[in-house]
Amino acid sequence: MATLIADTACVDPRAELADDVEIGPYCVLGPDVRVGRGTRLIAHVCMLGVTTVGEMNVFSPFTVIGGDPQDVSYKGSLTRVEIGDHNIIRESVTINRATEKEDGVTRLGSHNFLMAGAHVAHDCKLGDRITIANGSMLGGHVHVESHASISGGVAVHHYSTIGAYSFVGGQSRIVHDVPRFMLVDGNPSKIRCINVVGLKRNGVSSEGIDALHEAHRLIYRAKMSAKHATEILESHGHLLPEVRSLLDFIQAQQEGKHGRARERWRKS
């Protein structure tokens, strides 16, 4: 099918549009924008800077993709945004391009759902099948692993990592890494339990869930060291892949600073 561009859209002739792209009324696309097959920009969408968007995405009105990073050290270099396939980006979402402090890329994977007013700051890296609810904000250099869910009104401190299959409750303040498979909530946030609903929805076995329950009990309730907990988990046959993944995450977090694994790589 042919690409459709509304009469009121402003698309730079150097922008690259694949087949079956729909550019709705009053959209603005800069010269370094590339949009993949079947992607729809409903109306009033701005894509700026060096921005590459994959296939079959939907962008709702008043989203801004590829705007300057909100970082006073940024000097206008050609950093970029990369977005995968089959994402739903709702009204007024902002995804800023990167700074020069890491690899120069803000990246969003595929099959993600970003609800109205969500903000993805510079240098963030998001995996696949992530949900971020209304008004949540990711600070710069945040990593969100695949299958994580972030409720509405959450503020995530820069250089934090939100682990895979985790769940963050609404209006939480996240200043430490959120371990994989855990449910975190509050201000200040605390690890409450494992994310049972999310694990079941994503096909984690009952054995894996039971092992994660035991890991949570030992580490976060009995307050054991990860080393001691590992010994007990292994002796009871609970060192399943999910538990090993959790323990790897905790080890990286402990090797970091201020409860954030990636903080040790932070540049001033």
Would you say 126 and 105 are in contact if contact means Cβ atoms under 8 Å apart? no
Q: Is the pLDDT of residue 62 over 80?
A: yes
pLDDT at 192 over 70: yes
CATH architecture of 4-141: 3 Solenoid (2.160)
Token couple for 200 = 């079941």
The letter for the amino acid at 186 is: G
Query: pLDDT tens for residues 15-60?
Result: 999 999 999 999 999 999 999 999 999 999 999 999 999 999 999 9
Q: Which of 165, 172, 215, 220 is nearest to 192 (CA)?
A: 220
Confidence of residue 222 (pLDDT cuts 50, 70, 90): very high
CA dist 79 and 82 (Å) reads 10
Q: Chain centroid to CA 267: how far? A: 21
| DSSP code for 87 | -
pLDDT at 253 over 80: yes
The helix (H) or strand (E) run that includes residue 234 is helix 226-235
User: Residue 88's beta-bridge partner residues?
Assistant: 58, 113
Site of tokens 């089959």:
86
DSSP letter at 172 equals -
Clarify whether 67 is annotated catalytic. Answer: no
32 has catalytic annotation: no
pLDDT of 265 reads: 82
Q: How far apart are CA 92 and CA 64, in angstroms?
A: 7
Token pair 């329950």 is found at 213
- Kindly state the average pLDDT of the residues 175-195: 97
User: Which of 120, 68, 177, 14 is closest to 168 using CA atoms?
Assistant: 177
pLDDT in tens, 130-155: 999 999 999 999 999 999 999 999 99
Say whether pLDDT at 218 is over 80: yes
The pLDDT mean for the chain works out to 97
Taking residues 117-140, report their average pLDDT: 98
> Of 24, 54, 127, 140, which one is the catalytic site residue?
140
pTM for this prediction: 0.97
3 state SS for 182-209 = EEEEECCEEEEEECHHHHHHCCCCHHHH
Q: Which is the catalytic residue, given 44, 86, 119, 122?
A: 122
Q: For strand 182-186 and strand 189-194, is the pairing parallel, antiparallel, or unpaired?
A: antiparallel
| pLDDT for the residue numbered 103 | 96
* CA dist., res. 26 & res. 115, Å (int): 21
pLDDT at 266 over 90: no
- Give the per-residue pLDDT at 268: 59
Stretch 86-115: mean pLDDT = 98
Q: Is 76 among the residues known to form the active site?
A: no
For 58, 173, 242, the CA distances from 168, given in Å and listed in that order, are: 25, 9, 19
Candidate list 32, 85, 123, 177, residue with the active-site label: 123
